[in-house]
Structure 1
């Protein structure tokens, strides 16, 4: 009689028939290919033979795991009557991670990926291939459009959550928590922030795509870190100044410093910055940016850009209450500022086109229903997107409410009378051209400059560089030759030459007094806009600038 034995021990799930020498079974663990020695023994002695066994992964092949990915969403609330608000942790709810990326890893190898549904559900079919443990990972990344949230203080690492997957499990849910303990954040449990940011921007993107499905929204990187503070400096260390869109990088940065200023749940703030991204990539912004707030009499490019950002957040989130929370109350408690975009009265102290709040209210009233005596316009989001991606992008003038309204009237000729009535409510004249004609203060921003017409003097008023007082626009036609433009003043000034929104050349040497000069070629018959900006913010009254546009 022959008996059989094997060395080393077979993987779990496989067995040797000691009477027949047959190896059979279903492996329950994953191993690589190995060589085993089988020994046959009878009364005459023994003999050995080597056998190579490859254990198929996963205990017999293909597996499937499914589940739901969710995150804690905390409402940012603001009461316009009480002028106060907070983050309502007691109203937090689990929301689905929509269009999110889910990965199944074995060790460091990716076995399979999936995309979550609108309800956060996923299903992954995979075949294990090695000996490493299984891990399910949900990334802060959407697919269509492509948005991802990264850590600017950790070499741009992609945010995500994970959990181990036991070999026998067919269901595994992942949930990102807000981490609030009642008095502070638990850093190890503060995992919902990137997903909240992601979902707010995804909501805005889907609103645009629902209105205009053919819109191609480019990929976007958003940078969030619990180290991000409202201080200027090295962004890789978290010094991001404020939540903002960076045109130079094409990326968004979001505040996250606990007990200082956290914006991850301030969905209107998040979408406001997404609006600047959309404006930069699919429309156009000639705004110089800079600080802005209630009561500011702004350069009309700034007033339009910031008013649009707030309005587009209310439109795409379908919520007119804008809230911005921060730790600024007594004893470092949470508080909030904000506005009711729908019911905020016009700022009667500021000329219409130069008020961020007026532009916000006007744009939202163009979007929403005809629900007030002065508002008989109900265009919805589609025509607004059409203007932004069409005439606003190609205007010969600068991007202000004048260029936007002119484009809108071209798309909606039947609504012109109602649009003019709405403009009047916000103290803006019946704009008829991209140059602001129809509204006196807006039209006065543009002066005609004549190439070779000789030097002339212009007065600016002391103020911040991005205000109405410190900016003027000069328009001239190219003659096909080189032009030289100079600006001289006892104060610090700068000049920038635009052609259809593109900065051709700029001169802006810091320091009071002297002459700024630029030169460049022109094309005959093309329209150029020269922006004169003053930087004299210490003083009262006006100061003189002498301009000269010459050509050989």
Structure 2
């Protein structure tokens, strides 16, 4: 027999199961063990295809186009055959959403499809989608109970979007599986360039209760979709902002997780947008995330839906080279360069594909002495792809970035009319004192160009050193010292007196970023102050 069911979703927390719709079984009634229940006990195979409602974007409005919904395969997820609460057999759905489990005729079962991607071995990962507003319960799809009547039965199931024609009218069962599918696509792409791909455990938090308001994450007040410490939080607020079908948003945040675990990001985060002149670390991190979503999907249009019925939205063409305020501080410039390095469009001389990008991100850039930026990335990319240097220089030149690049941006001249932002790094050896200046010309969010000054500290031999910050006025100065991306010393103490950051340092190059606040420490300011490196 061939049965197709529409499924609704349950959440799994410990050993307590939420009731799925569509005729879910009543666990309070005893279920016969395998082979029991008066059945014949013959070996039987239950197989079929798992799908979910996939809702595309309207390319004119960038909102969701529910009328164009298609059924897409649920790929790579765990499928369990349950007899009561006993797991009888387990499978993983294939690339077409097919599954196959073994039971017995005459026995009652139900299928549980878990919102997870798990694999062990040379290539490994462990990813789950949970409801952060329901004690982090994992999403599962439970079918209704069925009795096997033949030795081979086909049972297909579809997870419904919950869309009723003009609004959501039932459980949005497809949402966790569209989210997982974007991760599946990402992993599949990376398997092509890394035979030993190993990913850290990741939890993706999605709920219809996740709203664009800051507060308690467990209540759904997540503010925006974001990544932090092996957790991705995604908006789910219908008629306001919901990201479960915004694939590029999901892959963008997954990109930050990848940077955090398999590559490196020194980004300080914070608000950002097109045309902003940003801290170069933020520019690279956000530009990378946007380009990454295009690279993974081979679709340069980043679309984000929102509004009533998710019918509105915006898009970013990451292949667009005509960005606002181009330069080494622009996420638009970064995303344009990275995508053009990858793709083979006729307007781009560079056509390196994913492998060289992946190799730099997980190799030299991961261990760079400098902060991660377009400078470090392009320096290493050119080193490792000497035959493509001319094409890569064209990409830099098109974005108003000096082609004679090194990891320190030593030859960069674009100061955007603010002399204090160049040089990119002030270099200090023991005994040196220099005046540096911060600015708030381009914003005061602590992540804009010139909000911080970068220092390159030449530690010639291991020992105790002090980085001294001397304010010229009533300013509170903070400083952070790093070695290859790891924070090794800092101060955030409130006060307007001279700051001494003393630590035992290994020999080699360290970097620091320093910034100034007003006397109360409540807002950053533009000011000048002295920095000194002292060998104790």
CA–CA distance in structure 2, aligned partners of residues 194 and 164 of structure 1:
20
Aligned to 1:346: 323
Q: CA deviation at 1:290?
A: 0.9
2:45 counterpart (56, 60, 64): 64
Aligned to 1:185: 168
Aligned to 1:21: none
Q: Deviation per CA, 1:86-105: give whole Å up to 9, x if none.
A: 11111111100111111111
Q: Deviation per CA, 1:317-365: give whole Å up to 9, x if none.
A: 11011101111x7xx8631011112235132xx2511111111111111
Distance 1:447 1:386, change over 3 A: same
Aligned to 1:453: 432
Secondary structure in structure 1 of the residue aligned to 2:198 = coil
CA–CA distance in structure 2, aligned partners of residues 333 and 531 of structure 1:
41
Aligned to 2:392: 419
Aligned to 2:23: none
Q: CA deviation at 1:422?
A: 1.3
1:260 counterpart (212, 235, 240): 240
Secondary structure in structure 1 of the residue aligned to 2:501 = strand
Asked whether the equivalents of residues 71 and 175 of structure 1 are also in contact (C-alpha less than 8 Å), the reply is: yes
CA–CA distance in structure 2, aligned partners of residues 280 and 216 of structure 1:
13
Match runs of 1:321-470 below 5 Å: 321-327=301-307, 334-347=311-324, 350-369=325-344, 371-372=346-347, 375-441=348-414, 444-454=423-433, 456-462=434-440, 463-470=444-451
Secondary structure in structure 1 of the residue aligned to 2:205 = strand
CA–CA distance in structure 2, aligned partners of residues 431 and 175 of structure 1:
55
Distance 1:547 1:438, change over 3 A: closer
CA–CA distance in structure 1, aligned partners of residues 246 and 32 of structure 2:
49
Distance 1:549 1:78, change over 3 A: farther
Distance 1:261 1:517, change over 3 A: farther
2:75 counterpart (84, 91, 98): 98
1:227 counterpart (209, 212, 227): 209
Count how many residue pairs are aligned between Structure 1 and Structure 2. 485
Secondary structure in structure 1 of the residue aligned to 2:296 = helix
Q: CA deviation at 1:541?
A: 8.8
Aligned to 1:73: 54
Unaligned residue ranges in structure 2 (runs of 5+): 1-29, 120-124, 416-421
Give me the TM-score of the superposition, normalised by structure 1: 0.82
Aligned to 2:24: none
CA–CA distance in structure 2, aligned partners of residues 319 and 366 of structure 1:
14
Secondary structure in structure 2 of the residue aligned to 1:444 = coil
CA–CA distance in structure 2, aligned partners of residues 211 and 521 of structure 1:
40
CA–CA distance in structure 1, aligned partners of residues 456 and 144 of structure 2:
64
Q: CA deviation at 1:513?
A: 4.1
Q: CA deviation at 1:75?
A: 1.1
Distance 1:498 1:31, change over 3 A: closer
User: RCO higher in 1 or 2 (8 Å CA, sep ≥ 6)?
Assistant: 2
Asked whether the equivalents of residues 223 and 251 of structure 1 are also in contact (C-alpha less than 8 Å), the reply is: yes
CA–CA distance in structure 2, aligned partners of residues 136 and 55 of structure 1:
18
Q: CA deviation at 1:128?
A: 8.9
Unaligned residue ranges in structure 1 (runs of 5+): 1-28, 34-53
Alignment of 1:546 onto 2:530: yes
Secondary structure in structure 1 of the residue aligned to 2:90 = strand
Larger Rg: 1
Secondary structure in structure 1 of the residue aligned to 2:305 = strand
Aligned to 2:156: 173
Asked whether the equivalents of residues 404 and 434 of structure 1 are also in contact (C-alpha less than 8 Å), the reply is: yes
CA–CA distance in structure 1, aligned partners of residues 33 and 67 of structure 2:
51
Distance 1:499 1:207, change over 3 A: same
